Amino acid sequence: MKYDFDGKVALVTGASGGIGRASALAFAASGAQVVVSDVNVAGGEESVDLIVKAGGRAVFQKCDVSRGDEVKALIQRAVSEYGRLDYALNNAGINNLGANEYEDDVWARAVGINLTGVMMCMREEAEVMLAQGKGAIVNTASINGLVGNGAQPGYTATKHGVVGLTRHGALRWAKSGIRVNCVCPGVIETPMTAPLAANPDMRKLLDSMTPMGRMGQAEEIAAAVLWLCSDAASFVTGHPLVVDGGATAT
């Protein structure tokens, strides 16, 4: 579905590929001006090029969301470039597949990017939106923010934390015109899962992890993000929207 976001400004972190890129493209296709952000400069600039070639407007700003100064600069860029900030998708995150997340440095990196990064983005975005009197924030959590994962303590804990931050923000700013929700994707076909999916046996396993028998697509998550930002979801806040092909229904 295409929404009417003409004159609106959207910010997407972690937008060099996957869910972030799909969401940035979807915002632009609906008329929004987009601020694309990532630590991957080449990928982020490619996302901007795709938007511009399709007739949209976008700029790129490099940002490591675990650094407060870079997050502040990112939000300031959005305002200086377009004058406002209406929607934000805090999507930047990492999944330390195969790593021992009980190791101090691996754990700290997961928390810094997946949780602290989301908090700092929310904090800076809300400051702008409070001045406007309106805005919508969506955080990218995971089904591992709702259920357990015996292999990844860092990823599971941080994604549970994102759900908690989302509910906190929804309550804090409910009467100020700011809605805060999160999406909880299941197994999605993105650059993050591509190395696993390249193995035919592993691809079969990944497909079998959902009752629908396939991996989700980044565009399917983007559709949920845009709905949460749109006026169609005007009475929705504090909600973890599960998009997982039925995985958590089992």
CATH of 9-188+217-245, one of 3.40.50.970, 3.40.50.720, 3.30.70.890, 3.20.20.100: 3.40.50.720
Two tokens at 101? 């997340």
* pLDDT computed for residue 209 by the predictor: 87
* pLDDT computed for residue 70 by the predictor: 98
pLDDT tens digits for range 41-80: 999 999 999 999 999 999 999 999 999 999 999 999 999 9
pLDDT tens digits for range 124-150: 999 999 999 999 999 999 999 999 988
pLDDT tens digits for range 97-126: 888 999 999 999 999 999 999 999 999 999
**Exposure string (b/e) for 59-79, b if CB count within 10 Å is 16 or more?**
bbbbbbbbbeebbeebbebbe
The pTM of the full predicted model, rounded to 2 decimals, is: 0.96
Q: Which of 3, 82, 87, 155 is catalytic?
A: 155
| Residue 155 among the catalytic residues | yes
* pLDDT computed for residue 150 by the predictor: 86
| Domain layout of the chain by residue ranges | 9-188+217-245
Question: What average pLDDT does this structure show over 66-95?
Answer: 98
Q: Compute the chain's Rg from CA coordinates.
A: 17
CB count within 10 Å of CB 90 equals 30
CB 118 within 8 A of CB 162: yes
CB 89 within 8 A of CB 140: yes
Q: What's the mean per-residue pLDDT of the chain?
A: 96
* pLDDT computed for residue 194 by the predictor: 74
pLDDT band, residue 193 (cuts 50/70/90) = confident
* Residue 239 phi, psi dihedral angles, 5° rounding: -105, 130
The CA distance from 57 to 49, in Å, is 9
pLDDT tens digits for range 196-244: 778 888 899 888 989 999 999 999 999 999 999 999 999 999 999 999 9
CB 243 within 8 A of CB 221: yes
* Residue 128 phi, psi dihedral angles, 5° rounding: -70, -45
Question: What average pLDDT does this structure show over 13-29?
Answer: 98
